[in-house]
Structure 1
Amino acid sequence: MLERATTQLIRTNAVILTVLLILAVVSFPTLAASPWFGGDWESSLRGVKTDGDWEWDPRTELTLQASLRDSNVRFFADVSGWIEQRGEDWYSDADVNRLYVRMFLPKVDLTLGKQQINWGTGRAWSPSDIFNPPDALNPDRQRNGVTAALLTISHGPLAYTSMVLAEDPKSDDLAMGMRYHGYTDGIDWSVFLATRKQNPILGGDLAMDLAGLGVHSELTYEPDFPYDDGGRLLWLMGSDYSWAKGKLVWMGEYLYDSTGAKDPKDYKWWRPGVLANATLGRHSLFNQLTYAYDDFNSVSVHLLSNLVDDSQALTLSHTSILDTHLQWDIQATYFLGDPGTEYGSHADIMVGTGITYKF
């Protein structure tokens, strides 16, 4: 099955990338009038402490981006290559993060290729985001795209329908979805129907502002969830608020997973590697506080909490913009909890620092 899935994925990507190349060549005479090139080069060092021992891994990564556009067509490419030391061995690889052609037609946009399709409103978790789910331990991480065809039909300034046919990296089936987004009396909202691994998923989300307090919520239900006879219900509730003219920002989110364990002894450790948006415990909490103490420097702290086993992951970070093109980041994550808990079973500490040159 793995060989068949790999072969199908390679063939699917090859066909789509060939179509993109043809479209880019055909469109190039008009697109070349407005080319853009950029990217960044990052050198970083990460340290992991486990059972009192440290392991340090240096890494350097080059990302290149290019965009060609006229009034009706846009071609965008985002590729990266990296080299990294792990222990005594060196590894290198390259990846296509995004590569797509977008065609702007009257009332309709069509995007073909590897792209980001971010549904939902959540930051640490996003039950509605079945294509590009976030990483709760690092919600600021750039998410790679998925190979997909996306059709967006406009119904007005803030109302549109999205239809997606995309690869599912975790199976040999295609994922499909249809989403309607609207805006009513200050409320952004959407509803969707999707299939993943041939199982239907229904859901929706909303976001609004209540006297300066941002509120967002998501709800999804998978009736034929293969690992639970009662289906799977995910509910996210979040809010955010800012002070000092936006310099101090707080965000909090609560996630309920009906298939999460109510007791740590019922944990199924294979689940997070198999399921998107998976949590071990039934109840999880995320809090983040960010303070920009001037125009070039900011500090952030975010805390992930498993409310079932009382384990936490505490992350402290600092970002400095050294000049127009240069940025320095430093981050440390502390995993707190007893052995056998979700975050207590990670490494003791993870630290990292990196310099990024943007061009």
Structure 2
Amino acid sequence: MLVGGNVLSQNKAKNTSLNGYLQSLEMVWMPPSTEKWFTMNTISNRLDFKWYPSEHFQTYVAMRNIASYGQIPFEFYPHMADLSVKDNGKLNLTKSIVSDSSYYLYTNLDRFYVQYTSGKFEAIIGRQRINWGVNLVWTPNDIFNSANYFDFDYAERAGSDAVLLQYYTGMTSSIQFAAKVDKDDKSTYAAMYKFNRWNYDFQILVGKMSDDLVIGAGWAGQIEGAGFLGEGTYFRDKENFNDTTGVFVGSVSLNYTFKNSLMLQAAILYNSAGTTGNAGQQGMFALDLEISAKNFSRAKFSTFLQASFPITPLINASFSGMLNPNDKSGYFGPSIDISLTDNIGILLMSQLFVGKDQTEFGDYGSMFFTRLKWSF
């Protein structure tokens, strides 16, 4: 029905499109310091619908339908079911359909906006993703929609109920203004100026994120063929402006691709409010805590390395790792992505967390994933 609807819509009306995917993700979790293991299966369906009613307008609606079941929902009932329907937007567009002690099913609208474009001006109103970050892993400039790196299965990322206005002042420069309101009626708004100098793309932002006044900057360029990116944001409590020193969060990364297509990437994160002691966050579900540009990690310093290589045109291998150099805990993430056909793929991935109790990564254990995905 979905594929038929897609073909029919594209044949009969060139101003609409419908695509998406259907996938099954099997997870095995081994908690730390135990030989027990638990399983969970998640079946996800995504639908992306776009309508172009005129030359200047576009409407975009995207929906996720997700069903999870197994031992893990049973062991953590009702916490997982409740967490799944948490919607941080001003509008509650996430609804539980059914749930019980070992399964839950919910639906979520993570894109629901109207876009207007005319010449150099663009306006987007509704639930959208505003991505102001320049790095892959840690993005301190991304004050609207910071993403959790470990949530690898949600590539589209969550959206915000927001307004985005953009005016292109030149071929490589623009001015943006964005504002959002969350479920607690707290507002985030900021202006950003983007420009190019010395073959580098720069950006400067100023505004407010929730309870903090913010100012930040970022860049993207190259050094001897290697990508060189960085961004930083300073946060200052607006209610206690004179009584605090503020918090600075910054991240710098390098990436390089060799002639044989081997890609290496390294990054470092600094958080002036972070701890140099144990940075533990109370077990597995700390991975699901809300991430913001101010709290990617409780550690003062974090490091990241990643290598990826296409073994064949249809098989890509990757290995990533994080290290907290102070509490000596770490994460390792090997994966193999295999294309079975043009629109069917299988992913084999592990998330291995190591460290002592109460360290940043020491309380999570090990997770193993197998994902079969069909895109249409």
Q: Would you call these one fold, judging by a TM-score over 0.5?
A: yes
Alignment counterpart, residue 107 of structure 2, candidates 72, 90, 94: 94
2:372 matches 1:349: no
Q: Quick check: 1:75 aligned with 2:89?
A: no
Q: How far apart are 1:86 and its partner, in Å?
A: 3.8
1:312 to 330, 333, 347: 330
Aligned to 1:326: 344
Equivalents in 1 of 2:272, 2:281: separation in Å? 14
- Counterpart for residue 46 of structure 2: 63
Matches within 5 A, 1:266-281: 273=289, 276-277=292-293, 278=295, 279-281=297-299
1:152 to 166, 169, 180: 166
Please say which of residues 190-199 and 143-152 is displaced more in the overlay. Answer: 190-199
- 2:156 is the alignment partner of 1:173: no
Instruction: Name the CA distance, whole Å, in 1 between partners of 2:287 and 2:317.
Output: 33
* Structure 1 residue 229 corresponds to structure 2 residue 213: no
* 1:108 equivalent among 121, 143, 149: 121
1:47 lines up with 2:47 in the alignment: no
Task: State the match for 1:14 in structure 2.
Answer: none
Change (3 A) 1:226 1:46: farther
Determine if contact 1:306/1:312 at 8 Å carries over to the other structure.
yes
Structure 1 residue 252 corresponds to structure 2 residue 263: no
- The alignment's C-alpha RMSD in Å is 2.2
Equivalent residues of 1:100, 1:114 under 8 A apart: yes
* Unmatched segments (≥5 aa) in structure 1: 1-30
Say whether 1:190 aligns with 2:190: no
Length-normalised TM-score, structure 1: 0.85
Contact 2:280 2:361 in 1 (8 A): no
Structure 2 residues not aligned, in runs of 5+: 1-11, 75-101
Q: Give SS of 1:195's match.
A: strand
Q: Secondary structure at the match of 2:316?
A: strand
In structure 2, what residue type is equivalent to 1:299?
A
Question: Do 1:305 and 1:313's aligned partners in 2 also have CA atoms closer than 8 Å?
Answer: yes
After TM superposition, the structure 1 stretch with the greater mean CA deviation from structure 2, 179-188 or 266-275, is: 266-275
Distance change >3 Å, CA 61–CA 100, structure 1 → 2: same
Q: Deviations over 1:227-270 (max 9, x none)?
A: 9932101111111001125x211111100000000222x76768
Structure 1 pair 140/250, CA: closer, same or farther in 2 (3 Å)? Answer: farther
Q: What is the number of equivalent residue pairs in this alignment?
A: 325
Residue 298, structure 1, aligned to residue 313, structure 2: no
Report how far residue 97 of structure 1 moved. 1.6
Q: Give a deviation string over 1:214-236, Cα, whole Å, max 9, x none.
A: 10011110122789932101111
Q: Which amino acid aligns with 2:200?
A: I
1:327 Cα deviation (Å)?
0.9
- Compute the displacement of 1:285 (Å): 0.4
Question: How far apart are the structure 1 equivalents of 2:345 and 2:14?
Answer: 31
What is the TM-score of this pair, normalised by structure 2?
Answer: 0.82
Distance 1:229 1:337 in 2: 33
Instruction: Tell me how far apart the structure 1 counterparts of residues 238 and 37 of structure 2 sit (CA, whole Å).
Output: 40
**1:85 corresponds to:** 69
Match of 1:131 in 2: 144
Shift of 1:32: 5.0
Q: Specify the alignment match of 1:38 in structure 2.
A: 19
Moved more, 228-237 or 299-308: 228-237
Deviation of residue 189 (structure 1)? Answer: 0.5
Question: What's the offset of the Cα at 1:288?
Answer: 0.8
Q: 1:123·1:134 contact (CA, 8 Å) conserved in 2? A: no
Q: Deviations over 1:317-341 (max 9, x none)?
A: 1111110110111111111111110
| Cα distance per residue 1:114-171 (max 9 Å; x no partner) | 11111021111100001111223246742111111100011011100110111235x4
C-alpha spacing 1:267/1:48, structure 2 compared with 1 (3 Å): closer
Is contact 1:32–1:68 with CA below 8 Å preserved after alignment? no
